[in-house]
Amino acid sequence: MAERNIESVNKVREAVSQDLLGGRIDLLLGWEKGHYWWQSRPLFARSEEDLEKLAWDSFCAVNLSRYLLEELKDHDKIGVLVKGCDARAFNRLLQDNMVKRDQVILYGLPCPGMLDYNRLIEKAGGALLGITEENGRVILNIESGEQEAQRDDLLLDKCKDCRYPDPAVYDQLLFSPQGEKEGPERFKTVEELEEMSAEERFGYWEKELSRCLRCYACRQACPFCSCRECFVEQENPRWQGRAYQPSENFMFHLVRAYHGTGRCIDCGECERSCPVDIPLQELNRKLIKDINELYGDYEAGLDAEQEPPLLTYRPDDPAAFSEK
């Protein structure tokens, strides 16, 4: 089993159960174990019995903040467990006026990064029975015995270059902060793509996007995709055709990415949710990089008071388009 630390689950449970059972919140959004030790899925806890199922381990990748959009319709006050990215997602929703701060209690979980099951089995090279973790190392429990690996090598792509593992907003921080990180390779692939000629780059994306099933998991998992009606579903005018043509794939993915310019919090839930592994974070990160270069460094979701660059007007804003 993926035991990280029973103590830490207990600590989380203790913190939230007082509030849930004491009536300070009517719902807690957390995680519970799925069928497998490598799956932790959303938990909607309302009772002590529900809280028994609470999990906090290396597989709690699902961003819970997005569920507030629906759940706040039925509850007055909701508690949410937030990792660094989930907290930025909360700020995103706050800035979009989709949630109210005083209706939510945030329990901050400084996050060591979540593990990728595919990397684990690749490392194990065969049947993997479970893992144990200690001090940044992961011990893989394989049929022939044990194998040790560095935790950093087994992270989900979305966690690899995470710069802000600590929640930027919370009511209560449950563990000691991890501190800001460098994320040295965050823009590495984007830079490689920028080096390509326009034709090469078009070919690259045409191939990657050709796998798109238009299941819209990327949109549904995304904290910046909070529009009540997405352009995809609009009938008049009809922006998005249903055909599986390259032009329609580009239409969807480019509009989706552009709509997140200066708003994408780089949580990578889009890419993690994609059933055919389209590297969507490269599109998002290209736009993050462009914003940084044009308007100065900006990290969406870090500070709810700081307006996204494309939603503000300043007379000294660069006018890159007209200058060229």
Residues forming the site for other proteins (CB under 8 A): 34-36, 39, 41-42, 44, 62, 66-67, 70, 121, 208, 211, 213-217, 219-221, 233, 241-245, 269, 272-273, 275-277
Name the strands in the sheet holding 78-82, side by side, starting at the edge strand that comes first in the sequence: 40-45, 27-33, 78-82, 104-108, 172-173
Nearer to other proteins, 183 or 275 (CB): 275
Residue (50 or 303) nearer to other proteins, CB: 50
**Positive or negative torsion for Cα 113, 117, 123, 124:** positive
Q: Specify the 3-state DSSP secondary structure of 85.
A: helix
Which residue has tokens 């935790």?
Answer: 151
Nearer to other proteins, 69 or 149 (CB): 69
**From residue 175, how far is each of 47, 186, 231, 282 by CA, in Å?**
24, 26, 41, 31
CB of 319 to other proteins, least distance (A): 35
Minimum gap (Å) between residue 28 Cβ and other proteins: 13
Of 232 and 291, CB closest to other proteins: 232
Please say which residue, 17 or 273, places its beta carbon nearer to other proteins: 273
**Whole-number Å distance between alpha carbons of 26 and 217:** 28
Closest by Cα among 236, 200, 220 to 280: 220
Shortest gap between Cβ of 213 and other proteins (angstroms)?
5
51 Cβ contact partners less than 8 Å away, ≥ 6 residues apart: 13, 16, 17, 20, 28, 45
Q: What is the DSSP string of 30-49?
A: EEEE-SSTT-EEEEEE-SHH
Backbone angles phi, psi at 142, to 5 degrees: -110, 170
Minimum CB separation from other proteins for residue 32, in Å? 10
User: Nearest approach, Cβ of 65 to other proteins (angstroms)?
Assistant: 13
Compute the least distance from the CB of residue 41 to other proteins, in Å.
4
Residue 244 or 258: the one with the smaller Cβ distance to other proteins is: 244
End-to-end CA distance of the chain, in Å?
58
Nearer residue to other proteins within complex by CB, 217 or 255: 217
Instruction: Report in angstroms how near the CB of residue 60 gets to other proteins at its nearest.
Output: 11
